[in-house]
Structure formats: C-alpha cells, structure tokens
Amino acid sequence: MDDDLPPPIPAATLILMRSGRAGDAPEILMMERSAQMAFAAGALVFPGGRIDAGDHEAAARLAPGLADGAARIAAIRETIEETGVAPALTGPVDAPALRREIAGGADFASLAERHGLGLDLDALTPFARWCPNFREARRFDALFYLAAAPVAAPAASADRRESVRTFWASAADTLAEIEAGRAHAIFPTRRNLERLARFASLEEAREDARRHPVQRITPWVEERNGTRWVCIPEGIGYPVTAERYETARRR
C-alpha cells in the first residue's frame, strides 16, 4: 500500500437481500466480474460502480436535500445495468427495458420519469464506506448500501461485459466458496460478507448499520511477531479485523 496514489474514484455499491427458504439465512445478490476487467478481475462482488455526472444532476433535481443522493442513484442504476434487477423503484417496472436503455446510454433519471417511475432513495440504508489504498489499476472510494430485493423481480443475469455470472446465495455460502478456492473476492468484499453472515434478516442488518455509523475504512498493514497483517479498525461492526497479508492480497 502506498501514500502517493491518485485520488480514488467515488463509487456506490448495493447489497441487495431477499429472504431465504424457511429458516435459512437471507440471500444476497452477487456477481462475478469478467476476467478481463482492470479492477477485481474474476472476483465476486456486489453490484455497483462509479458515481457519474448524471447521478449528481439527478440528485440535485430529485433529492436536493440528500447529501448522498447521487451515490444512492448510482447504486440503483448500476444494479439494473449489471444484473437486470431493478430495486427501490415505485410504479410499473419493466426491468429489461430499463436495462437496455441504460446500457444504451440513456439518462437514468429521465428514463425513470418517462417510464412513470419514482426513485425510493429511502429504501437504501447506508452500511459501509471503503477506500482501500492498495496499488491497483483502479482505486475506489465506495459507499455500500443495503436494500430489499424487489418483489417478483425477474431473474438476475450477467451483462456479459463487466460480469459473467450472477447468483443469489447466503453470505456464509459465498464465503465457503471463497475458502474452498472455488471463487475469490477482494479484501473489502470478504469483510462485508463476514459481517453480513451474522444476520438472520435484512432488518437485522439494518439495525446493525444503525448501531455503527458509516466511516471511511482504509486498511493498513502492520507487523505482528514478524508477520504482516492487513488490518481495519475494531468496533465498527466487523467480526474479522485482520488477515495475513499474503492471503489478503491473493484470495
């Protein structure tokens, strides 16, 4: 990790949750990034991406009093484009049509208005903010939000550009795939999955988020008894706050 890195790119990520089968843990929408991507190639991630100028313009028009309105709009927009699932919208949602038009470059806010849709930005609960300073091809300052999966949503599907696979699974099951070496994920994703694995419902996750106000997390490396560890602060909601450097950078 370095001190001379360029400014991070503002981004937003959506942790979309739905109820599991009776008695099972809630399921989370995950996607596998293309191996050709410059950032997190081949990794399992939550849907999301950079906050663009159109998101800021939409927030100024639709949610002028919401400080993170652009981030919330970006999280919804990116989720639709990457997975085909359209959360936090009110009105008659035609998710496939929205996805096609967003992918074609249509302005999301104008698109929603044309389709008679409202943006329920209050449906997104702030959960975390991560800004790693590993030297990577891309560096992001990402806000993470929790939201409920829309009722009767179409099946999620990869966009075949940024993602090659989408799936619903509990946090524990996704972590098991990573531990078994059948998948991999970057350090922030693993830490968030470990935190999410403790919750039996979306509401439990939201309650935990309310108990731990969002602060920017920038991991650091420290040496412990001759071994390097990647660390994050204690007391901010994460059950695992350190991992050996070798595995933190490899898995």
Distance CA 46, CA 175 (A): 13
Where do the H-state alpha helices sit in 48-94?
53-62, 69-83
Class (C level, CATH) for 9-210: alpha beta
Angle between helices 187-196 and 171-179 (to 10 degrees): 140
pTM metric for this prediction? 0.93
Distance CA 221, CA 242 (A): 9
Parse the chain into domains and list their residue ranges. Answer: 9-210
* The pLDDT value given to residue 137: 59
* The pLDDT value given to residue 154: 78
Counting Cα atoms < 13 Å in the Cβ hemisphere of 248 gives: 22
E strand or H helix at 32, and its extent? Answer: strand 27-33
Q: Are 28 and 169 in contact (CB under 8 A)?
A: yes
Tens digits of pLDDT across the chain (251 residues): 455 677 899 999 999 999 987 778 999 999 998 776 656 678 999 999 999 999 999 999 989 999 999 999 999 999 999 999 999 999 999 999 999 999 999 999 899 999 999 999 999 999 999 998 876 657 899 999 999 999 877 789 998 888 899 999 999 999 999 999 999 999 999 999 999 999 999 999 999 999 999 999 999 999 999 999 999 999 999 999 999 998 886 66
* The pLDDT value given to residue 100: 94
* The pLDDT value given to residue 38: 58
* The pLDDT value given to residue 168: 96
* The pLDDT value given to residue 78: 96
